Structure 1
Amino acid sequence: MSRHTSDTSLRGPRSAATQERVLDLSPFRDIIKNLCGLSFDEARTATLKNGIQSRMSLLGLACPARYLELLKGDEDEFNNLVSLLTINETYFFRDPAHFQLLTERLVPALIASKKPAERLRMLSAGCSTGEEPYSIVMALMEKYGESARNLFSVTGIDIDSSAFEIAKRACYNGHSFREFPEDLKSKYFDSLGPDLFRIKGTVCKQVEFQLLNLLSETYPVSLQNFDIIFYRNVAIYFDAEDQKTTFSKLSALLNENGYLVVSSTETLAHNIGIMSLIEIDNQFLYQKKLDIGIGNRRTESGSEPRPRASGRSNPASRRSAVTARTVHQDRAAPLSTKPVEKTEVSEQRRPNCLFDKALSLAEAKKYDQAVDLIDAIIAQDPSFCKAYTLKASVLINMKELDKAEGTCLICIQKDQWCLEAFLLLGMIAKIRNDDEAALQHFKESLYIQSSCWIAHFYIAEIHRLRGELNRAYREYEIVTTLLKKGNIKEHGLTFFPLSFPMDQIAHLCNHNMTQLRKKLT
């Protein structure tokens, strides 16, 4: 590709409004997808449009068709646009639970299986501006001290050349230090001036960076035999097919029994039978096991795999997972295989018809009658999970929290992937002011359905009330993004009078984000 020089003949007097009218994003989506694999669906239209318009304005171009031709012939400009479109929300020790999992569970287990002089190899896939791989090194140094230099090696890869250069310079400002302990800043960084810090050489030497498109046909030979891969908040840029392709490629880079860590909202999207989805200390991740059987890869033939909810006698308490548990297992056999004798049931007495009547009673606040009718439905069809969640919802409104909790647990025994049951358990815990249990249940809801905006909303509310402002802001932002897709009714609840008007959710989130921005600046 040739380099571009600004051509004043390409400039024009068109207004921004005119430019927006004639901006057809389809060919831009196609060229970006074809050249680097990044996908921009309808939910990310604004990001793509704003990026294109920003670059056109900077170059003094008024015609989208001219800019499209420029992208086809100028590699530098194409890279500039990609850099603008792939700006990641990244900072040191983002999602600290993952780094605690790394140092306290994954690394000790892997070291025990290694030869004395053999290093653990770790990969940060989609490392952006470098905060993640450097965080890995600092976490390991905190755990193992100076000996960490000889125990580990870390590699960061990314497609964005601009981010790549920032990572190699290792200079960062305050934006990268959200939730970063001050004592570690002085320990691992040198001050270069007001709000500018450079990572010390002892950390930088532990990280190697390589420029790479994850969708490349082949990877360098050096990218092999990793023990742990961090692949967090990257898959959002790929469509479903490319997500599967990339996940398969990353799996091939792992050693046997190696781990792949993804963000909580991406967990289910990658559960495609390539690796085992496991849970350690309340965190879901993947492990490469060469002996995975077909029965463990899929729950049912032709069905969409969903994470298995953890059974527990007291759902309000946190689990202590001493050993990892494989999340996907075959469904339990039916309690009885005895043929059911056919009986004539009037249309009015069928469970679905009775359910509609019970729901109407609940909406009319005739709770006792609703519960009696739901019990009759369950007696007719004990496998009717919606009846259990409706009963639990009604019991919550009756302030019968223990009974509601027990009903949810029965439902989960019958369907271990029931989104509504986990949402209700989260709400019960929230009413009890048990924030930790509430967060756990809402996160479990997201493992089942990452687009469940109401789970994100309640997580945001809990973080806001606890003063965890950055986390709250991030969750509110996710809610607004999901609601822009028009799925406000897809909240996962059959019946639960929310404490806020449904049509005001987006407004409420934006208001809270505005208030949080003021506190964060």
Structure 2
Amino acid sequence: MTDDFDQDPRMTELLQFLSRKTGLTFSTSRSDIARDGVMRAMAAAGTSCLADYRAWLESDAAVFDSLVSELTVGETYFFRDHDQFDYLRREVLPAICRELGSDHVIRMWSAACASGEEPYSLAMLLDEEGLAQRSHVLGTDVSRDALAKAEAGIYRQWSLRGSAGDAARRYLDRRGTGYRLRNDIRDRVVLQYLNLADDSYPSFATHTWGLDVILCRNVLIYFDEQTVARVGRQLYESLRPGGWLLIGASDPPLRECAPFVVETADCGLIYRRPSLPAIGNPSDDVRTAPGRSTSLRRSASRVSSSGSRPESISTSRGESGRAASGSERRSGPADNAAQRAFRDGEYARAERLLSQSLDEADQCALYVRSVACRDSGDAARLCAECLSRNPTSTELHFLHAALLMELEQNLEAAEAARRVLFLDRTLAAAHFMLGAILRRLGDDSGAARAFRNASRICRARPPAEVQPLSDGERADRLAQAAEQNLRLLHPSSE
């Protein structure tokens, strides 16, 4: 069967389809490995027919996900590449505390986290440094099977190999021949589905914004050059000014993808988003002519996964399509300058430009987003004040829910998300966020209902339509993410 598949043009077309969907590259040296992976995935799916399997990849996200898992090496263990964790402990965490103060919530993202050892190692490190209660760790992966293993928190001795195995062992309880992660560490990490090559980020909806640290290690090697460039740029945009990105030693360099500051350390190259310079008089930068329509979404400033800029849509619209404030408003010079500053990552400048002009809900929303890139707590308090003047703004309620969730105030976050849906039940991103919050609260039935609602709404829309409040996410991608979360809640229901 192997020889037949090697000569079958449908195998070549299948790998090309997979490359388009995921950004994975299948060089000549990897073609045999790729074909073997396809055959294993087909056997697991119970078919030997390439045509049937190709059709299933289009229609069944679980089948597609299993194939991606077969073709990527989820090789990981606790405190892998220990020198990088030492660098975080010795240089990064002290710098964050020194520069941003004791109230700052430290935000870290383990991108392509596989079975969870990496984000849990981050949570352990933060606990060791006495920072657990003021931190947020996100772990994402494209593999539903890997995320399910991470959720379970059950590991074998193989995950504890290496020089730092003992550092992780104190956070694990022995269970037969394996280990179970302590609940306090598992509860410090939020796990969710995200396809680095195809999803939209940074995003308030997925908490992939304003991050202090991103680890994206040993995954970029699987991507083609175009996908590496796109992912590198989006990772850059997901960092707060001054934030750190750590990649693997074998990953391709990213210095050409975005205006990173590249530093050399004993653990390798460190990529940083530049810190913001001192800000002059805001009026010095008010040059844009009035009359441009407003776009407050971060995603409006970046290239989408299809390579084109997404349509600029209002994120404060209800079912009727009218602005939440109830009237159309033309942007003035200060508004446009603030939007440009935010788009360019000059959040402090945007904050200053907007601070004297907070009469409209859209101005308040952009102000809150700008402040959030500096301090989530300040942004949450500001958002509550803005809501007292704009109680029907769906975007402000949505941002409030996202910020409260970030601050681990999950009961209040759930109420804020429900207020969004009271104003407009057609907002799939709000259903998705409510599902994520309820999942944290242990309300699996409520979370499943919210994810089903998000999927239903998105599946009823054109696949490429950007969903309001989603920071640029397409309907088909948001639906897939909701369905992946449903599978994580009910893995036995397939």
Q: Corresponding residue for 2:119? A: 133
| Alignment match, 1:236 | 221
Q: 2:179 aligns with which of 190, 197, 220?
A: 197
Residue 14 (structure 2) pairs with residue 28 (structure 1): yes
The CA deviation at 1:38 is 2.6
Counterpart of 2:141, as a letter, is D
CA separation of 1:67 and 1:41: change in aligned 2, threshold 3 A: same
- What is the aligned partner in structure 2 of residue 71 from structure 1? 57
Kindly indicate whether residue 206 of structure 2 is the aligned counterpart of residue 214 of structure 1.
Answer: no
Q: Does residue 148 of structure 2 align to residue 165 of structure 1?
A: yes
Taking structure 2 as the reference length, what is the TM-score of the superposition?
0.52
| 1:388-420 CA distance string (max 9 Å, x none) | xxxxxxxxxxxxxxxxxxxxxxxxxxxxxxxxx
Shift of 1:185: 4.7
Tell me if 1:227 matches 2:212.
yes
1:202-236: per-residue Cα shift (whole Å, max 9, x none)? Answer: 21121111211113352341221101111111101
Bigger-Rg structure (1/2): 1
Aligned pair in 2 of structure 1 residues 242, 18: CA closer, same or farther (>3 Å)? closer
Mapped contact 2:105–2:134 kept (Cα < 8 A): yes
Given that 1:19 and 1:62 are in contact with CA atoms closer than 8 Å, whether structure 2 keeps it comes out as no
* Contact map agreement 1:86 1:160 (CA 8 A) in 2: no
Q: How far did 1:98 drift? A: 0.2
Shift of residue 30 of structure 1?
2.1
| Among 268, 278, 285, the residue aligned to 2:270 | 285
Alpha-carbon distance between aligned partners in 1 of 2:245 and 2:165, rounded to the nearest angstrom: 29
1:86 and 2:68 matched = no
Over residues 79-123 of structure 1, what are the superposed CA-to-partner deviations in whole Å (9 max), with x where a residue is unaligned? Answer: 111121123211111111000000001110111011321111111
- Is the CA contact (8 Å cut-off) linking 2:25 and 2:224 kept in structure 1? yes
Give the distance between the partners of 1:262 and 1:179, measured in 2 at CA. 19
Task: Give the share of equivalent positions with the same residue, in percent.
Answer: 28
What is aligned with 1:50?
A: 36
- Compared with structure 1, are the counterparts of its residues 44 and 263 closer, same or farther at alpha carbon in structure 2 (3 Å cutoff)? same
Which amino acid in the other structure matches residue 126 of structure 1?
Answer: A
Q: CA deviation at 1:290?
A: 5.3
- C-alpha deviation, 1:262, in angstroms: 0.9
2:133 partner letter:
N
- RMSD (Å), alpha carbons: 2.2
Q: CA–CA distance in 1 between the matches of 2:246 and 2:80?
A: 13
| Contact 1:79–1:161 (Cα < 8 Å) also in 2 | yes
> 1:155 — aligned with what?
138
Residue 109 of structure 1 is matched in structure 2 by: 95
Q: How does 1:393-404 map to 2 (within 5 A)?
A: none
The number of residues matched between the two structures is 274
Instruction: Measure the CA separation in 2 of the matches of 1:63 and 1:216.
Output: 27
1:352-501 equivalences in 2 (<5 Å): none
CA contact (8 A) 1:22 1:64 kept: no
- C-alpha change, 1:212 and 1:42, in structure 2 (3 Å) is same
Map of 2:373 onto structure 1: none
Q: Which runs of 5+ in 2 are unaligned?
A: 278-494
Query: Structure 1 253/38 Cα, relative in aligned 2: closer, same or farther at 3 Å?
Result: same
- Segments of structure 1 that go 5 or more residues without pairing to the other structure are 1-14, 293-521
- Return the alpha-carbon distance in structure 1 between the equivalents of residues 84 and 154 of structure 2: 24
**Higher relative contact order structure (alpha carbons within 8 Å, sequence separation ≥ 6):** 2
In structure 2, the CA distance between the partners of 1:58 and 1:159, relative to structure 1 (3 Å rule), is: closer
User: How many angstroms does 1:134 deviate by?
Assistant: 0.9
Q: What are the equivalent positions in structure 2 for 1:194-343 lying under 5 Å apart?
A: 194=177, 196-219=178-201, 220-221=203-204, 222-266=207-251, 268-281=253-266, 283-289=268-274
